[in-house]
């Protein structure tokens, strides 16, 4: 079944009202009709199956017929991704959404090749938000991940200090035993940050700043992973550990 996200104000105890662009999508693209069913999430706690009772020019009304358990991880996971080249960020946003990330923050690091001016950054953000929405629908997420504005490395560190745990995969980190020890200490419901360097990796000064913040520098193995692979690997590991 198709999934739609709605504002919580459009959800009552018995019915859901869908407005905006999704009305045209339901009527003219999907060609759904009265009696057809779909999933609805309000981005918070509501996750239900609905049945269409009325289709109007500006809204679709559906009755709630079944409630579902929320599909989100108990932990809030924030991916701080060093800006990659080309369209790699689109892949990262899509797959990070599927793997349960709560927020994806593009970070301008010293070795980033990509430089975005304000206009380009705004357009990219809109594109990433559309990809996150589509991926959230496909993967049956209950929440659409938030796509952050491009921030500096210093700003990212400041944001991450508000999280319970921060993990920094780094190719020069030694051994997996330390990684296992850090992961074993993760607790249910903790907020977790993941820092991923760009194609050129972290600058030495950036790693020193990470250490000063007390973040956990970890290894993801003896192989060197591409920037678009490293974050998804870390998210996959966390999903396995934290999934109920």
CATH number at residue 130: 3.40.1280.10
Residues 163 and 53 grouped into a single domain: no
Residues 114 and 15 grouped into a single domain: no
pLDDT of residue 76: 95
Q: Give residue 140's region: left, alpha or beta (phi > 0; psi -120 to 50).
A: left
Interval 82-108 mean pLDDT: 95
Residues 53 and 130 grouped into a single domain: no
Domain housing 211? 77-242
How does pLDDT run across 152-162, given as a tens digit for each residue? 999 999 999 99
Q: Does some domain include residue 72?
A: no
Residues 103 and 197 grouped into a single domain: yes
- The structure's pTM equals 0.87
The whole-chain average pLDDT of the chain stands at: 91
First to last CA, the chain: 24
pLDDT of residue 45: 61
Residues 112 and 207 grouped into a single domain: yes
Place of tokens 């999280």: 163
Alpha carbons 86 and 79: distance in angstroms, whole number: 19
Q: Is the pLDDT of residue 146 over 80?
A: yes
Q: Choose the final residue of a domain: 43, 67, 91.
A: 67
As a whole-number percent, the residues of the chain with pLDDT over 70 amount to 100
Alpha carbons 3 and 47: distance in angstroms, whole number: 10
Neighbours of 46 (CB within 10 A): 17
Residues 111 and 193 grouped into a single domain: yes
How does pLDDT run across 33-80, given as a tens digit for each residue? 999 999 988 877 678 999 999 999 899 999 999 888 888 888 999 999
Residues 15 and 97 grouped into a single domain: no
Residues 37 and 114 grouped into a single domain: no
Residues 18 and 39 grouped into a single domain: yes
Residues 189 and 119 grouped into a single domain: yes
């Amino acid at each position: 079944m198709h999934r739609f996200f709605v504002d919580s104000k459009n959800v009552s105890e018995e019915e859901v009202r869908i407005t905006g662009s999704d009305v045209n999508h339901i009527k003219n693209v999907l060609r759904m009709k009265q009696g057809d069913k779909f999933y609805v999430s309000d981005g918070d706690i509501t996750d239900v199956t609905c049945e269409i009772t009325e289709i109007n020019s500006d809204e679709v009304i559906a009755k709630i017929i079944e409630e579902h358990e929320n599909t989100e991880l108990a932990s809030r996971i924030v991916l701080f991704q060093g800006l990659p080249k080309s369209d790699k960020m689109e892949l990262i946003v899509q797959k990070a959404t599927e793997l349960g990330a709560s927020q994806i923050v593009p970070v301008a690091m010293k070795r980033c090749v990509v430089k975005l001016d304000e206009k380009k950054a705004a357009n990219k953000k809109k594109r990433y938000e559309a990809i996150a929405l589509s991926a959230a629908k496909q993967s049956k997420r209950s929440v659409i991940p938030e796509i952050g504005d491009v921030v500096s490395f210093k700003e990212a560190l400041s944001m991450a200090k508000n999280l319970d745990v921060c993990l920094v995969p780094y190719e020069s980190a030694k051994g997996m035993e330390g990684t296992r020890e850090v992961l074993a200490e993760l607790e249910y419901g903790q907020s977790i940050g993941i820092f991923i360097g760009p194609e050129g990796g972290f600058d030495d000064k950036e790693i020193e700043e990470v250490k000063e913040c007390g973040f956990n520098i970890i290894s993801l193995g003896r192989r060197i992973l591409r920037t678009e692979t490293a974050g998804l690997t870390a998210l996959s590991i966390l999903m396995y550990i934290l999934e109920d």
